[in-house]
Amino acid sequence: MKRFIFISGLMLFSFFFGAGNLIFPPMLGYTAQHHMWIAMAGFAITGILLPYITVIIVAHMNGGVESVGNKVHPIFGTIFAICIYLSIGALYGIPRAANVAYEIGTQHILPVHNQVTLIIFSIIFFLVVYLISLYPNHIIDNLGKYLTPALIIIIAVLCVLTIINPDSQIGNPTGEYADTPVVSGILEGYFTMDLVAALAFAVVIVQGFKMKGITDQKQLVSSVAKAGLISALLLVVIYFALAYVGATTGKPGFTDGTQILTYNSVRVFGTFGNLIFGVIVILACLTTCIGLVNACAAFAVKKIPKLTYKWFVLIFSVLGFLVSTLGLELILNIAVPLLTFIYPTSIVLVLVSFVSIFIKIDFKYAYIIPTISTLIISVMQIVNDFNLVPFIARIYQWLPLADIELAWLIPFIVLFVIGGIIDYFKQPQPQHS
């Protein structure tokens, strides 16, 4: 079982570590410079700790995304789950993984880039995703044994060689990292969207342990927590190493982590570095996409049992292929409002669920009141971002922390406490004889 826990941890790591996760830390390090360590501490809170907590909660509730939303209302739970799987699956996560793999992974490999090469690449990419995802019993073995170690080795070699032979000394921070490095790091981790992804990925891990015959709830939670810890520790090591690579990159003018990693790949490996970096990105995107297809198919089977798991794997693979051909820019435009709407609510539900494990109160209003307020504020943020209704936008801008897109945070804390107090006084009191 220890071996299976270890392999499951590697698989979970591979699910989380997509192309976005690959390029965020180098840019943070590049900007934060000698504030990198404290900025990365903030990044770790939202980019590693919260997703890890989410994995434990899903195992504890033993019901996946829907069971978390059901704490508010069963109808809300169903709608919430569908929104989650749409945002990280068919409408965004799956096609984005393929498109990023193409646009970044093949940037310096293919001599030409056009619609034809995108379609050919997407066909091959989703064929591999489809074939691996067809057999869920072997997913852990396929990802944990082969793809993940290959990904870790390539990244480790790049990071070690770059650290041994740095481009320059660490300098002074710029931008928001000069004044508020911790908050800026927290927000950078927030935008990885890994907490939302964890709500889906955790189900795959839980099912894997159930297939191994673990039925005891405590043992299940313990095993999932151990696998999650392995994943979290790997993410800590690699994120900090990538951030250090960014911090020691002296060439000015870089605007994203892709450019930083490409530059260092070429610097360390020579022209062969282009190929190395391409392989890193394609592997990162491939493992993430497999996890998403598997999670979405498993959820869809529960809702529409007339179709088999293999049919849904095919459906999500084909949908992913079709949407990926639209191009990354259009995919992002489609997804941004949906993610803005769903992510703060996901954080609220996860945090309340985590507290409920330790406080023996039957939470009801502690779920309902802060969740509704967060949904309202998220809608207000979308209105503000797209300048739809000036009056509502002005109200949103008046809220504390709205300038850093955390307007939901203080109302959540206040209303959670109020909801918890209501639940405490509403619960049945013990009878004294």
Residues 170 and 287 in one domain: yes
Residues 379 and 313 in one domain: no
Domain final residue pick, 269, 294, 325: 325
* The predicted structure's pLDDT at residue 432: 55
Phi, psi of 285 (to 5 degrees): -70, -40
Higher-pLDDT residue of 315 and 343 is 315
- Written as one letter, the residue type at 102 is Y
- pLDDT tens digits along 298-309: 889 988 999 999
Higher-pLDDT residue of 127 and 84 is 127
Please enumerate in sequence order all residues whose Cβ is within 8 A of that of 222, keeping only pairs 6 or more positions apart, or say none. none
Does 333 fall in a domain? no
Does 235 fall in a domain? yes
Is the per-residue pLDDT at 44 higher than 90? Answer: yes
Residues 237 and 177 in one domain: yes
Higher-pLDDT residue of 18 and 400 is 400
Domain final residue pick, 300, 325, 350: 325
Residue with tokens 């970044």: 104
Is the per-residue pLDDT at 184 higher than 80? Answer: yes
Average pLDDT over residues 179-187: 87
- pLDDT tens digits along 262-277: 888 888 888 777 787 7
Higher-pLDDT residue of 15 and 172 is 172
Average pLDDT over residues 203-227: 87
CA distances from 413 to 20, 52, 200, 376, 410 (A): 29, 21, 25, 15, 5
Residues 316 and 363 in one domain: no
Calpha distance 81→69 (Å, rounded): 7
- pTM attached to this predicted model: 0.83
CA distances from 266 to 99, 108, 270 (A): 23, 11, 5
CA angle 97/188/333 to nearest 5° reads 45
DSSP letters along 304-341, please?
-TTS-HHHHHHHHHHHHHHHHTT-HHHHHHHHHHHHHH
Q: At 84, list the tokens.
A: 């989650």
Calpha distance 55→52 (Å, rounded): 5
Residues 74 and 41 in one domain: yes
Which residue, among 258, 233, 236, 190, has the nearest Cα to 26 in the 3D structure? 258
Is the per-residue pLDDT at 433 higher than 70? Answer: no
Residue 349 in contact with residue 68, Cβ under 8 Å? yes
Residue 93 in contact with residue 197, Cβ under 8 Å? yes
Does 219 fall in a domain? yes
Residues 169 and 307 in one domain: yes
Calpha distance 76→186 (Å, rounded): 28
114-128, 194-208, 237-251, 401-415, range with the lowest pLDDT: 194-208
Which residue, among 110, 99, 94, has the nearest Cα to 329 in the 3D structure? 99
Mean pLDDT of the chain: 86
Residues 359 and 317 in one domain: no
Residues 352 and 315 in one domain: no
For 72: left if phi > 0, alpha if psi spans -120 to 50, otherwise beta; the answer is alpha
Residues 44 and 122 in one domain: yes
Does 331 fall in a domain? no
Does 334 fall in a domain? no
Average pLDDT over residues 47-54: 93
Residues 128 and 233 in one domain: yes
Confidence of residue 142 (pLDDT cuts 50, 70, 90): low
Residues 286 and 406 in one domain: no
Is the per-residue pLDDT at 254 higher than 80? Answer: yes
- pLDDT tens digits along 334-365: 767 777 788 889 999 999 999 998 888 889 99
Calpha distance 391→237 (Å, rounded): 46
Residue with tokens 């590693």: 48
Which residue, among 322, 152, 391, has the nearest Cα to 330 in the 3D structure? 322
Average pLDDT over residues 355-379: 93
Please enumerate in sequence order all residues whose Cβ is within 8 A of that of 289, keeping only pairs 6 or more positions apart, or say none. 93, 94, 97, 98, 125, 129, 320
| Total number of residues shown for the chain | 433
Does 66 fall in a domain? yes
Does 238 fall in a domain? yes
Residues 275 and 353 in one domain: no
CATH at residue 117: 1.10.4160.10
Is the per-residue pLDDT at 14 higher than 90? Answer: no
45-49, 62-66, 349-353, 410-414, range with the lowest pLDDT: 62-66
Calpha distance 254→379 (Å, rounded): 34
Calpha distance 153→350 (Å, rounded): 33
Please enumerate in sequence order all residues whose Cβ is within 8 A of that of 63, keeping only pairs 6 or more positions apart, or say none. 70
Confidence of residue 333 (pLDDT cuts 50, 70, 90): confident
**Residue 433, exposed/middle/buried by CB under 10 A (0-12, 13-18, 19+)?**
exposed
Q: How many helices (H) and strands (E) does the chain have?
A: 21, 0
Calpha distance 204→113 (Å, rounded): 35
Q: Which domain range does residue 304 map to?
A: 2-325
Higher-pLDDT residue of 67 and 37 is 37
* The predicted structure's pLDDT at residue 345: 92
Total domains, the chain: 2
Does 203 fall in a domain? yes
Domain final residue pick, 290, 325, 360: 325
Residue 207 in contact with residue 298, Cβ under 8 Å? yes
How many CB atoms neighbour CB 48 within 10 A? 23
